[in-house]
Structures are given as C-alpha cells and as structure tokens.
Amino acid sequence: MPSKRHIRHKLLLDEGLHLPRCYPNLNRSHNLLHVSQVNLRGKKDEDVFNFAISAKRLPVVFNIKDFKKFIKQHKPSVISLSVNLTDKQADLKLANF
C-alpha cells in the first residue's frame, strides 16, 4: 500500500500572527512567510489576499470576516484561526492540518 506523501504548503501569515519562528512545528512542515517579510504589514486585506494568491500561498488569518468577501468557489481559500489560541496551540493545530 502506498504511503501518504507529505505536501509542503506555502502559507502567508497575516499580521495578527507572529513571525514564522514562533511556530516551529509548522515551520518544519510547511513554507511560511509573514506579511512583514514582503512589505505587506498595514496593507489592505485585499492586497494581502491578492499577494497570497499570486504567490500561490494560503493566507492564515484571525479576521476571517474581513477575508470572506475575497473567497470564491473553486479558488484558493483562507485558513482562519481562533484568536483564543496560543502560538503553541496554533502551531500544533496547523502542523496537524
């Protein structure tokens, strides 16, 4: 039986999240980039979303309500986290995703 191959997802962390070094498990499993690393800190959510799509990255956000209007059927989506998660909990939850 063939084993499942791990897919390294490319994720874009929105400014509500900390830098990639704060998520060690996730950082080992996936390719992380923070909005501050690509000069998107303070930019409009639409700019962040459009950058993520053009860079083939999934945005990881806390404020899903601000991003819902950009989500289209059969297009890349957004990963939303609860604001109540600690960095460690977010790291484990996303790494297991």
- Report yes or no on 83 lying in a domain: yes
Q: Which domain holds residue 28?
A: 10-96
Residues 6+ apart with CB under 8 A from 86: none
The answer, yes or no, to whether residue 3 has pLDDT greater than 60, is: no
Spell out the alpha helix ranges (H) of 1-97. 24-29, 45-54, 64-67, 87-96
What number is the average pLDDT over the span 64-76? 82
Residue 72 lies in a domain: yes
Contact 61, 16 (CB under 8 A): yes
Is pLDDT of 1 > 70?
Answer: no
Phi, psi for residue 34 in degrees, rounded to 5: -100, 145
Q: Confirm whether 1 is domain-assigned.
A: no
Instruction: For the chain, give the percent of residues with pLDDT over 70.
Output: 95
The model's pTM is 0.87
- What pLDDT, on the 0 to 100 scale, is given for residue 74? 75
Structural domain count of the chain: 1
